[in-house]
Amino acid sequence: GRVLRVPDTGLVLLVGVSGSGKSTAAARWFRPTQVVSSDACRALVSDDENDLSATGDAFELVNAIVAKRLKRRLLTVVDATSVRKDDRAQLVRIAKEHDLPAAAIVLDVTEGTANKRNAGRTDRDIPPRVVSRQRQNLRRDLKRMDREGFRRLHVLRGEEEIAAARVEPER
């Protein structure tokens, strides 16, 4: 399987639609304390995990935790869809403000795979149209994501490639 090199001191973005397997991969590749999850932050500021009005506050929290951890020179992984360029840019900027590199690992699965998995989830209800919009954003940006300031950009295509990959932090 592929070896995904990421900075051992810096920021790692997991990028992919809902149901692409970001949280599952994060648990395999990183320690729980290294992972900052937008869903976990949403849960902290809202009693209803599907309350989208909490999104702004949730991401303020994500950004604040990322900044605190990077200030302390800790490897930090953001588990959020990050399919929108502006969302990635904001996080890359925080890394740059701390003079640290950022890497991105894109989990590129088909809508069929994501929808099939989401249908079986008990934690959240994600309609196919949401995945479709996320995937449009991602597809459009993929070609130019190498110009967004990432030191490393890994694009994993399909379930097998994701399952076989492992992460290797490098200095």
Instruction: Give residues in contact with Mg ion (CB under 5 A).
Output: 23
Our finding on whether 110 is near ligand CTP (CB under 6 A) is: no
Q: Which of residues 32-61 bind ligand CTP (CB under 6 A)?
A: 39
Residue 83: which of 12, 138, 20, 13 has the closest Cα? 138
Q: Given candidates 69, 98, 117, 135, which one binds ligand CTP under the rule CB under 6 A?
A: 117
Smallest separation (angstroms) from ligand CTP to the CB of 134? 8
Residue 134 binds which entry of ligand CTP, Mg ion, none, CB below 5-8 Å type-dependent: none
Cα 140 vs. chain centroid, distance in angstroms? Answer: 17
Query: What's the helix, strand, coil split of the chain in %, to 5?
Result: 50, 20, 30
Residue 13: which of 64, 73, 71, 62 has the closest Cα? 62
∠ CA(140), CA(167), CA(123), 5° rounding? 65
Residue 158: which of 125, 111, 126 has the closest Cα? 111
Residue 7 binds which entry of Mg ion, ligand CTP, none, CB below 5-8 Å type-dependent: none
Q: Given candidates 9, 23, 55, 90, which one binds ligand CTP under the rule CB under 6 A?
A: 23
Residues 6+ apart with CB under 8 A from 163: 1
Stretch that binds ligand CTP, among 17-25, 48-56, 136-144, 145-153 (CB under 6 A): 17-25
Smallest separation (angstroms) from ligand CTP to the CB of 22? 3
Our finding on whether 81 is near ligand CTP (CB under 6 A) is: yes
Which 8-state DSSP code applies to residue 80? S
Residues that bind ligand CTP (CB under 6 A): 16, 18-24, 39, 81, 117, 120-121, 124, 126, 159, 163
